[in-house]
Amino acid sequence: MKKLINLTMFDLLKGVAMLGVVFGHSFGGENAVLGDVVGKILYSLLMPAFFVVSGYWLKKKEIKVGVKTSFEYLFVPFVIVVLLINLVGLGHRLLQNDISSWLNEFLIPSLLVSTAGANRVGPMWFVFALFLAWCLFYIVISIKNQKVQWMLVLLAAIIGGALMPFKLPFQIAQGLVAFSFVYCGYILKKKKLLDAKQHPLVYIVMFLAWICTVVFGSMNMYAYDVDYGIVSIIGSLCGALIIIKLFLYINLLEWYVLDGIRWVGRYSMWFLCIHAVEHAVFPWKILFRFVEQGTVIGSLTQFLLRLIFIIVGCIVFQNVQRYWIRRKEKSKL
Amino acid sequence: MLEKIIEIANRLCEVDDVELNEDTSIISDMELSSLEFMAFVAEVEGMFNIRIKERELRKIDTLGELTELVEEKLA
């Protein structure tokens, strides 16, 4: 019997989100083929949804234990990836005898975890924001009074949204907003809202709220762009909840192509980390000597090459991890 | 085999407040974060030298069901 709530129920959504990030970086930005469209969907819908589903599986722990978990699973990968990006970037800029651009684009933004202006932090902003969100979650969830918890969540969203235009370092504003999404994910599980049936009108209202956020405003935490503060955050949350619910049903389909996307979702952390490295340091300009940048062919070629590189990277990591685990087991015997 | 899986769960996943047995639900009793769950599955795969596919994981809820799946793959 197919179950809506299962261990892999978010993998399809996470896989689509990851593929969307790579797609957006290939077709948006410098290429600007699809312009704002992919970015708006990604940042206002899939990114908040990713924060929400991350919170779904969290539970109350001692603050020290929770922060240690956050450190181990999020902060450490963030540091490793950013260090790698900076080392490769340093090598490249030394060859070009251009240390000042390495300082301005690589080191300083990395140390400040800032995506304002030219930076090579790139997609890793998400990991750091999620790390802050998890730490805040474990602190707030230790408060017994649930009304106080909700007040703090609302305050975090309001302050996070208000602070966004100031482009503070260390993803402070993003962390606060991400925490509010993460907490909502926790509540989804606690109150069993995902498998509860809602009146269709609820979904219509939520969809309209999201559409208004996208059409009339902006919700792009990477670019410190949350036009209407808490209103945009709530609009994005509405969109995120709809897309999460929709994907739960799509996840019931047993198509092989969906298995591939689920695999990407399952290894989304590795996928994102490898993409962050290639996005920051790979000399894509070489590709654009052979295909024209900014065209569909150019962007598609870059997207496919990126996918191949990232997937191969994930498979390599997977095998290295398995080998390491087997070696550890053998050494115990 | 169940004992080995429980040992991995206890080691990786900070589940001291739950007594693990074959009826323990991974979703509702263990309440692992997605990253903890990925580490748990990776450890099980590595320990028994098997690969667990996404559609197989989808059908599992309890540690007992996971143990059965591992036994099927090893058979």
Pair A134, A69: CB distance under 8 Å: yes
The tokens 């090579």 sit on which residue? Answer: A120
Burial of A97 (0-12, 13-18, 19+ CB in 10 A): exposed
Please determine, for residue A48, whether its predicted confidence score (pLDDT) is greater than 90: yes
Containing domain of residue B32, as a range?
Answer: 2-74
Which pLDDT band, with edges at 50, 70 and 90, does A125 fall under?
very high
Q: Is the pLDDT of residue B15 over 60?
A: no
Predicted confidence at residue A128, as pLDDT, reads 97
B26 at the A interface (CB within 8 A)? yes
Mean pLDDT for the stretch of residues A53-59: 92
The pLDDT score that the predictor gives to residue A68 is: 93
pLDDT at position A63 over 60: yes
Would you state the structure tokens that stand for residue A269, as one six-digit string? 């952390």
Chain A residues near residue B32 by CB distance under 8 angstroms: 57
pTM listed for this prediction: 0.93
Look at B36 and A37; give whichever has higher pLDDT: B36
Interface test with B, best of A3, A6, A8, A186 (most B CBs within 10 A): A8
Identify which of B34, B49, B58 has the shortest CB distance to residue A326: B49
Structural element, H or E, at residue B4? helix B2-13
Rounded to an integer, what is the distance from CA A98 to the centroid of its chain? 31
Q: Is A282 on the interface with B (CB under 8 A)?
A: no
Mean per-residue pLDDT over chain A, rounded: 91
A61 contacts chain B (CB < 8 A)? yes
- Identify the CATH number of the domain in which residue B22 sits: 1.10.1200.10
Residues on chain B touching A3 (C-beta within 8 angstroms): 58, 61
Q: What is the ipTM of this complex?
A: 0.86
Q: Tell me what pLDDT residue A30 has.
A: 56
Structural domains counted in chain B: 1
- Three-state secondary structure string covering chain A: CCCCCCCCCCHHHHHHHHHHHHHHHHHCCCCCCCCHHHHHHHHHHHHHHHHHHHHHCCCCCCHHHHHHHHHHHHHHHHHHHHHHHHHHHHHHHHHCCCHHHHHHHHHHHHHHCCCCCCCCCCCHHHHHHHHHHHHHHHHHCCCCCHHHHHHHHHHHHHHHHHHHHHCCCCCHHHHHHHHHHHHHHHHHHHCCCCCCCCCHHHHHHHHHHHHHHHHHCCEECCCCEECCCHHHHHHHHHHHHHHHHHHHHHCCCCCHHHHHHHHHHHCHHHHHHHHHHHHHHCCHHHHHHCCCCCCHHHHHHHHHHHHHHHHHHHHHHHHHHHHHHHHHHHHHC
A327 near B CB under 8 A = no
Predicted confidence band of residue A50 (pLDDT cuts 50, 70, 90): very high
Backbone angles phi, psi at B52, to 5 degrees: -105, 120
Locate A143 and state its tokens.
């408060």
User: How confident is the model over A145-171, as pLDDT tens digits?
Assistant: 999 999 999 999 999 999 999 999 999
Residue range B12-41: average pLDDT? 79
Residue of B nearest to A1 (CA): B59
Report in angstroms the alpha-carbon separations of B33 from A8, A26, A275, B15, B28.
12, 30, 22, 12, 11
Q: Which residue among A59, A259, A326 sits closest to B55, beta carbon to beta carbon?
A: A259
Pairs across A and B, CB distance < 8 A: 77
Of the candidates B36, B38, B47, the beta carbon closest to that of A325 is on B47
Token pair belonging to A123? 């997609």
CB contact under 8 A, B43 and A325: yes
